[in-house]
């Protein structure tokens, strides 16, 4: 079965042809470990875990190498450690452990290799020296900087010229830069900051810039050219653009990775997630508190809700989306109760995922499998195998899918009033108000079902307690 992927570099879907089918290689940018990972960070973790699973199924588990790094040296880490008055290593260890606990709950497999930036300083220093030696970087005031002017097709990934990037970007216009878009490969360490002997004859200790870390780790574990590089769309520029520049110019190659994949943005209840708006949600909050939608959410529910939208499309993260996902998984838990057998995943689901990870199509097929399994218990094994393949089911019971569940009292009169108000808003085509009321009901633990009356053609709304 052929696999096609949308390549950001070419801006089209392409058949996936690995450099070596016996050693398929993928790199994805991992977390900077200074705080809890937010729900936007969870999206690439889940998306590329699904691709990892598909590659393992297609080429064999022993023939796929997945590298997802940990950035444990960074300005944000230094500031957080200083603010909290704790050792930097203690901060990064604690945060990395929390990240692992959170994503394990989301059904995420461990990557083949999880390198840490601080374990690859020697490779970063060597790459700096290569770039200076080849005329693609220069030393200025204790810094090593990449010369963007030295790379004629810089900007190819983000499809922008240097002039456009200069006009639209906020760049550090430090006086020691030769060009405004030149970026830091290495910088001097201040007192109290982590530091290592600097490359290129620079006296004193320094530390790497953000971009060179991934170039060094990818080359160390996957080679100078590999198959797939992934991450969120916000990393396309400058991070991935700069990775390509460093890697190609340092190694003298035509490319860094053959396929570049990026997942779309995530917003919360129709707005960009930000702490100032009070809608900043961490994975930890979803799993361990009732800070979102007045409910504590199981990791499989979060994963199901995340994969309901195609990875390249923006996603609106709502309490209603999670409530609906949980209701579906309640059905699955009851349907698969006592089903021990499994096998191969459904071929149509695999085919849908092989078309650029078309998860909406795959989930539509899964709903069909659920109906078949209700009529024919022999189909339960295929459903179970398919869900396990996608990381959507791990034998959870209904109780486990609703952690922290409490018996709640529903004011039926109030619910009926809100349902009537929503129907009026829909009749007035006030979709924003209708959605707001729907989400208010979801936060109360009420799930709505809209059906069309065959006789009158009018929409009839019924409701039930979703948990």
Average pLDDT over residues 69-86: 93
- Determine the pLDDT at residue 441: 82
**Does the pLDDT of residue 407 top 80, yes or no?**
no
Average pLDDT over residues 420-438: 87
Average pLDDT over residues 234-262: 97
Instruction: Judge whether 26 and 230 are in contact, CB under 8 Å.
Output: yes
Q: From the centroid of its chain, how far is CA 186?
A: 28
Least confident stretch, 85-94, 164-173, 271-280 = 164-173
3-state secondary structure of 424: helix
Query: Which of 160 and 372 is assigned the larger pLDDT?
Result: 372
Q: From the centroid of its chain, how far is CA 143?
A: 32
Work out the mean pLDDT of the chain and round it to a whole number: 92
- Determine the pLDDT at residue 432: 85
Q: From the centroid of its chain, how far is CA 229?
A: 13
pTM score > 0.75 for this model? Answer: yes
Burial class (CB in 10 A: 0-12, 13-18, 19+), 24: buried
Least confident stretch, 47-51, 349-353, 419-423 = 419-423
**pLDDT 10s digits, 38-68:** 999 999 999 999 999 999 999 999 999 999 9
- Determine the pLDDT at residue 406: 58
When pLDDT is cut at 50, 70 and 90, the band that residue 437 belongs to is confident
- Determine the pLDDT at residue 452: 76
- Determine the pLDDT at residue 279: 85
- Determine the pLDDT at residue 1: 63
Q: What percent of the chain has pLDDT over 70?
A: 97
Going across the sheet that includes 266-268, the strands are 271-272, 266-268, 315-317
Q: Identify the CA nearest to 34 among candidates 67, 74, 6, 63.
A: 74
SS3 content of the chain, % helix, strand, coil (to 5): 45, 20, 35
- Determine the pLDDT at residue 216: 98
Q: Tell me how far apart the alpha carbons of residues 293 and 218 are, in angstroms, rounded to a whole number.
A: 39
When pLDDT is cut at 50, 70 and 90, the band that residue 170 belongs to is low
**pLDDT 10s digits, 205-216:** 999 999 999 999
**Does the pLDDT of residue 281 top 90, yes or no?**
yes
CA distances for 315 relative to 267, 287, 319, angstroms: 6, 19, 13
**Does the pLDDT of residue 423 top 60, yes or no?**
yes
């Amino acid at each position: 079965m052929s696999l096609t992927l949308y390549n950001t570099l070419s801006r089209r879907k392409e058949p996936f042809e690995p450099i070596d089918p016996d050693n398929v290689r993928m790199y994805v940018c991992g977390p900077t470990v200074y705080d809890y990972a937010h729900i936007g960070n969870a999206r690439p973790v889940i998306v590329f875990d699904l691709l990892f699973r598909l590659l393992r199924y297609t080429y064999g588990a022993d023939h796929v190498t997945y590298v997802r790094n940990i950035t444990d040296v960074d300005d944000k880490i230094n500031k957080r450690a200083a603010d909290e008055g704790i050792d930097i290593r203690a901060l990064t260890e604690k945060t990395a452990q929390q990240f692992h606990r959170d994503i394990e709950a989301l059904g995420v497999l461990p990557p083949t290799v999880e390198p840490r930036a601080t374990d690859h300083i020697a490779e970063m220093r060597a790459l700096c020296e290569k770039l200076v030696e080849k005329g693609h970087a220069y030393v200025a005031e204790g810094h090593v900087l990449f010369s963007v002017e030295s790379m004629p097709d810089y900007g190819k990934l983000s499809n922008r010229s240097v002039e456009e990037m200069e006009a639209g970007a906020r760049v550090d216009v430090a006086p020691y830069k030769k060009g405004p878009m030149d970026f830091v490969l290495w910088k001097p360490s201040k007192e109290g900051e982590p530091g290592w002997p600097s490359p290129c004859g620079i006296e004193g200790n320094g530390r790497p810039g953000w971009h060179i870390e991934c170039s060094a780790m990818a080359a160390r574990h996957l080679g100078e050219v590999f198959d797939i590089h992934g991450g969120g769309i916000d990393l396309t520029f400058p991070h991935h653009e700069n990775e390509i520049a460093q890697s190609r110019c340092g190694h003298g190659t035509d490319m860094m990775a053959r396929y570049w994949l990026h997942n779309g943005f995530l917003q919360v209840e129709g707005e960009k997630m930000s702490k100032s708006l009070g809608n900043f949600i961490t994975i930890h909050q979803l799993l361990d508190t009732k800070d979102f939608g007045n409910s504590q959410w199981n990791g499989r529910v979060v994963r199901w809700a995340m994969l309901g939208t195609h990875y390249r499309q923006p996603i609106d993260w709502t309490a209603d989306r999670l409530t609906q996902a949980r209701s579906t998984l309640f059905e699955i838990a009851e349907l698969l109760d006592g089903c021990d057998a499994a096998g191969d995943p459904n071929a149509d689901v695999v085919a849908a995922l092989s078309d650029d990870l078309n998860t909406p199509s795959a989930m539509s097929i899964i709903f069909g499998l659920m109906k078949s399994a209700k009529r024919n218990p022999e189909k339960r094994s295929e459903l179970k195998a398919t869900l396990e393949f996608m990381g959507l089911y791990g034998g959870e019971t209904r109780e486990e899918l609703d952690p922290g569940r409490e018996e709640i009292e529903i004011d039926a009169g109030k619910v009926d009033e809100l349902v009537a108000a929503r129907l009026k808003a829909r009749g007035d085509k006030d979709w924003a108000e209708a959605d707001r009321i729907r989400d208010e009901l979801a936060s109360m633990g009420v799930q709505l079902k809209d059906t069309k009356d065959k006789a009158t053609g009018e929409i009839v709304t019924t409701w039930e307690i979703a948990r």
